[in-house]
Amino acid sequence: MDDKAFFNRIQIPLGFNRTDTGDLQRVMAFLDERSSADMSVFLSDVFSWFSGQPYAWSGGRFTRSISSLFADYMISCVMDGNIFLHHHSSIFLEVPDQWDQVRVIPRKRLSPDELEEIVALCQPILGLDCPVNQDDLTRFMIGCLHRWKSSLTVFASLAEAGQYPGASDIDSCLSFIQAWLAIADPFEKISFVRNGKNEISSFYDMFVRLKDFYESRTARWESWRKSLEKFSEFEPFLKKDAEVASDLSNLRLVLEMEHPWDKIGDIDATIARIKPVYERIRSDKYARLQQDTLLQIDQMIETISQLLENVHARNEVRNMALVELQKIRKAIKIDKPDIQIFKKREIAEEAFEKAQDIVLTHS
- Pairing outcome for strands 10-13 and 82-83: unpaired
Residues 6+ apart with CB under 8 A from 301: 322, 325, 326, 329
Where do the structural domains in the chain lie, given as residue ranges?
4-106, 113-216, 284-361
Residue 7 confidence class, pLDDT cut points 50, 70, 90:
very low
Q: Which has more pLDDT, 46 or 33?
A: 46
Burial class (CB in 10 A: 0-12, 13-18, 19+), 230: middle
Structural contact between residues 132 and 119, judged by C-beta atoms closer than 8 angstroms: yes
* Position 36 confidence tier, pLDDT thresholds 50, 70, 90: confident
Q: What type of residue sits at position 138?
A: T
Q: Which residue has better confidence, 211 or 184?
A: 211
**What percent of the chain has pLDDT above 90?**
41
Nearest 5 degrees, angle CA 52-CA 54-CA 60? 55
The 10 Å CB-count burial string (b at 16+, else e) for 196-219 is eeeebeebbebbebbeebbeeeee
Phi and psi torsions of 76, nearest 5°: -125, 150
Give, in order, the Cα–Cα distances in Å from 168 to each of 65, 109, 240, 251, 311: 48, 37, 37, 21, 74
What tens digit of pLDDT does each residue of 247-272 get? 999 999 999 999 999 999 999 999 99
* Long-range contacts of residues 55-62, Cβ cutoff 8 Å, at least 24 apart: 55/26, 57/23, 58/12, 58/13, 59/5, 59/7, 59/10, 59/11, 59/12, 59/13, 60/12, 60/13, 60/14, 60/15, 60/16, 60/17, 61/23, 62/12
Contact 76, 186 (CB under 8 A): yes
Q: pLDDT tens-digit profile of 288-336?
A: 888 888 899 999 999 999 988 888 888 888 888 888 988 988 888 877 7
Give mean pLDDT, residues 189-214: 93
Quickly state the pLDDT bin for 188 (edges 50, 70, 90).
confident
Cβ proximity of 210 and 169 under 8 Å: yes
The answer to whether the beta carbons of residues 171 and 160 sit under 8 Å apart is: no
Q: Which residues pair with 42 in a beta bridge?
A: 103
Instruction: Find the mean pLDDT for residues 163-185.
Output: 92
Residue 87 — very low, low, confident or very high, per pLDDT cuts 50/70/90?
low
Alpha-carbon distance of 299 to 311, in angstroms, equals 19
CA distance 123 to 102: 33
Determine the length of the chain.
363
Checking if the pLDDT of 11 tops 70, the result is no
Rounded CA-CA distance 154/174 in Å is 11
pLDDT at 15: 37
β partners of residue 4: 13
pLDDT of residue 273: 96
Among candidate residues 332, 331, 326, the one with its CA nearest the CA of residue 290: 332
Instruction: Confirm if 99 and 43 have CB atoms less than 8 A apart.
Output: yes
Q: What does the alpha-carbon distance between residue 295 and residue 293 come to, in Å, rounded to a whole number?
A: 5
